[in-house]
Structure 1
Amino acid sequence: MEFPEDFNQLELLNSHGDLIPRGASSMWAGSKDEEEEAEDEEMEHSEEWYLQKEEALTDKPKELILWAAENNRLSTVHKLLTADPSLVHCSDEDGYTPLHRAAYSGHVSVVSALISGGSKVNPRTIDGWTPLHSACRWSHVAVASFLLHHGAELNAQTNGGLTPLHLAASHTSSTKTDSAHTLELLLSQRHLRAGLRSSSGETAGDVARRSGPHHFLFEMVEDCVNALPVT
């Protein structure tokens, strides 16, 4: 899929967010079969199903650790890293590492295990996404907090200039409390640069006012007016 250089990435996220590359196969040009497969993956599965999947990937350790990180298979992640610590740095064709996978799926324990196992905290996908971008896009506030405490780049920008704050602001709802909590977490960070603009010229505050119910939270980072008389 090709886009002009000045296209608005956030508008595309809102309209086609379900097609963001997640995992071993990019779904930007997804077919109906791929969409159905993605829906099936979101369903709850039995332990037997997970064990069968792991067995099928036994001879493909890179694919297995990526899958295990995404599916919260902590014991499998530990086992794989014990056998081959270098697996923590592998990635899929879109540049997503095990840490990205765990971050966008909201698995704090797996995120912790991967970082303890030597994972870089700020690896980049081919589109410039860090794990913090992924956690904030899907409102996983606990993961975002953990990553920030371990050196995640708060103001990192994607190839399109999007910061974690842009992504948190673009994916909010009044019924999903974690979306507000994710914004509060980012806005409370001392070194936040809330005025950074995307390639389309928008700040995260602009995005929040346009697309979300929590734009009032950005008052936390607005310049204060000094009401005291000048002496």
Structure 2
Amino acid sequence: MEFPEDFNQLELLSTHGHLIPRGANSFWSGSTTKEDDEEEEEEEVHSEEWYQEKEENLKDKPEELILWAAENNRLSTVCRLLTADPLLVHCCDEDGYTPLHRAAYSGHVDVVFALITAGSKVNPRTIDGWTPLHSACRWSRVTVVSFLLQHGAELNAQTNGGLTPLHLAASHTSSPKTDSAHTLELLLSQRHLKPGLYSRNSETASEVARRSGPHHFLFEMVEDCVSVVGS
């Protein structure tokens, strides 16, 4: 579209500003394709009998059971196990993932709440240096991200590879089902965010977003503004 020389952008804003996407709805509706949606893996649905059988098989392995239960949103099982042995909240698998990590990357905020209430550390590290906030941001679990931040999660924590939660949120923008844009907006709105931190590959989160997804424009939220007001 060509505009006349006397075209005034401010006039366009005043007459058509209501059409400009804002806030959580600011990402383009065309950013994902039908092919992208078809490639999205649907969560497998199991019967209650299937879950009960799994729990029965793990009943003599409480550490494995609570890790599995946290990942699979079995809140009553998590609470029952913690009542019997409160120290289970601190257990982890061979890679260092705690029940909180598993609940975080699976997006189970009620389980996350129960674990933190039971005394789980908010910032435990895996062997690769991932915190639960890293896990939640990698899979764009925006509700969990918000909850963890409210309970003291380290916003700018870096993994062994130098990745911050923002790096991970920026790298996962392919699926509308995972609230990737909302997660980025939430992180970028945090007062103490350090968006310029570099990963071990010498990339900022903005650079990751530029090459891996459609939401790079959201980083305008943290870009330096140029003042046009005279001193």
* TM-score, length-scaled by structure 2: 0.80
Structure 1 CA distance for aligned equivalents of residues 95 and 175 of structure 2: 32
Higher Cα radius of gyration: 2
Name the residue aligned to 1:94. Answer: 95
After superposition, the C-alpha distances for 1:33-54 in whole angstroms (9 at most, x for unaligned) are xxxxxx9x95211000100110
- Structure 1 unmatched runs, 5+: 1-38
Q: Is the 8 A contact 1:69 1:110 kept in 2?
A: yes
Post-superposition offset of 1:176: 4.0
Post-superposition offset of 1:175: 3.5
Name the residue aligned to 2:57. Answer: 56
Q: Is the 8 A contact 2:70 2:111 kept in 1?
A: yes
- Structure 2 unmatched runs, 5+: 1-40
Name the residue aligned to 2:68. Answer: 67
Which SS does the other structure have where 1:94 is aligned?
Answer: coil
Say if 2:173 is the partner of 1:172.
yes
Name the residue aligned to 2:227. Answer: 226
Which SS does the other structure have where 1:226 is aligned?
Answer: coil
Q: Is the 8 A contact 2:96 2:127 kept in 1?
A: yes
Q: Which runs of 4+ in 1 moved over 3 A?
A: 174-177
Name the residue aligned to 2:217. Answer: 216
Which SS does the other structure have where 1:135 is aligned?
Answer: helix
Name the residue aligned to 1:111. Answer: 112
After superposition, the C-alpha distances for 1:150-189 in whole angstroms (9 at most, x for unaligned) are 0000000000000000000000036346000000000000
How many residues align structurally? 191
Q: Is the 8 A contact 2:167 2:205 kept in 1?
A: yes
Kindly report the root-mean-square deviation, in angstroms, between the aligned alpha carbons of the 2 structures.
1.4
Name the residue aligned to 2:194. Answer: 193
Q: Is the 8 A contact 1:127 1:159 kept in 2?
A: yes
Post-superposition offset of 1:224: 1.1
> Percent identity, aligned pairs only?
83
Post-superposition offset of 1:218: 0.3
Say if 2:86 is the partner of 1:85.
yes
Post-superposition offset of 1:73: 0.2
Post-superposition offset of 1:210: 1.1
Q: Is the 8 A contact 1:174 1:213 kept in 2?
A: no
